[in-house]
Amino acid sequence: MKIEWELTSHGHRFSTDPEKFGFLRESNDIYEDAEALRRRMEEDGYLFFRGVLPLETVLAARRAIVEKLASVGEIDESRPLMEAISSGTSRRGQIDTRQFGRELRTLPALKRLVHQGEIIRFFERFFGEPVRSFDYIWLRTVKPGGATGCHYDWVYMGRGTSRLYTAWTPIGDVPYQEGALMVLENSHRIEELLNTYAKIDVDDLSKPNPYGGGWLTTNPIEVQERFGGRWLTASEGGYRAGDLLIFGMFTLHCSLDNRSPVRRIRITSDTRYQPASEPADERWIGEDPIAHGPQAKRGAPTT
Ligand SMILES: O=C(O)CCC(=O)C(=O)O
């Protein structure tokens, strides 16, 4: 497969041989068909849609986020703001960083994108019942050099229902070279991982956890060699504003390194949705979720 860019995650280079690399199946043709969506999720462990989110809502969120980043000097203002070019500096250290993070991830324009409108309508259809979203919004503003290691989401949010799904939303275009998301094909069926790694809870200190922060590994090639499957990402150069990627709690994913040649910050969110009738993980709900803070910890550290 001919890809112009070298695709790496934490410096590990992906093979683009067709048996090791491919593109996410697009499911726009079944977008309105709840039964077919559920079947495909079961089969693939993810659903990928092109251009289903209203562009003006996505771009309004992007504008609000870059303006907020600019307010602490993180955006190169000699370039158009919406380009989100990193200034390479920050004044966050001079302010209350936690408060700033809270303000950033709860911007009203971001909430309008992920807690209202099309994403909620999608999940109402998918579940066939009222939806609850986690209040906590994982907003990623990934500077050049950053990447996410391979993981299942369950290890971070497995205290409620497993009928829980992630929506990964590009808030602006995300080409391969700027940190696009990768999904390991059929990873929701890797029994060995489901019986071991998937059982950890990163905040439960009473159980052995050889994975520390929760990433299975920062080397996606090693997992592939061990368990097989192709690493998949969006076709045609990457993700675009308006696209939506949904996946289950046991679908292994990671991101490419942000190697933006123009030093663009990668702006995406990942947010979670479940049937409102099912129990929710207490770490991620409420006005100011406890997240992985001290109140989330269980048990004593093992010695
Ligand atoms: O966007 C990223 O780098 C990580 C996203 C992620 O881990 C997730 O969606 O669960």
- Please give the distance, rounded to the nearest whole angstrom, from the Cα atom of residue 29 to the centre of ligand 1: 25
- Please give the distance, rounded to the nearest whole angstrom, from the Cα atom of residue 180 to the centre of ligand 1: 10
| Average predicted confidence (pLDDT) for the chain | 97
Specify if 1 maps to a domain: no
- Please give the distance, rounded to the nearest whole angstrom, from the Cα atom of residue 73 to the centre of ligand 1: 25
Nearest atom (ligand 1) to Cα of 148: 3
What is the tally of structural domains in the chain?
Answer: 1
Nearest atom (ligand 1) to Cα of 146: 3
Specify if 215 maps to a domain: yes
- Please give the distance, rounded to the nearest whole angstrom, from the Cα atom of residue 84 to the centre of ligand 1: 19
Specify if 298 maps to a domain: no
Specify if 268 maps to a domain: yes
Specify if 291 maps to a domain: no
Helices (H), the chain: 34-44, 55-70, 97-105, 108-114, 118-127, 154-157, 191-195, 220-227
Specify if 195 maps to a domain: yes
Cα 207 to the center of its chain, rounded Å:
26
For the cut 70, the answer to whether the pLDDT of residue 216 exceeds it is yes
* pLDDT tens digits, one per residue of 109-128: 999 999 999 999 999 999 99
Whether residue 269 has its Cβ less than 6 Å from ligand 1: no
Q: What is the pTM of this model?
A: 0.97
| Nearest protein CA to atom 10 of ligand 1, as residue | 153
Hey, CA dihedral for 291, 54, 4, 225, is it positive or negative?
positive
Structure tokens at 35: 């039964």
Structural domain boundaries, residue 254: 8-276
* pLDDT tens digits, one per residue of 42-97: 999 999 999 999 999 999 999 999 999 999 999 999 999 999 999 999 999 999 99
Single-letter amino acid code for the residue at 142: V
Strand runs labelled E in 199-248 = 231-233, 238-239, 244-248
Q: What is the CATH number of the domain that holds 214?
A: 2.60.120.620
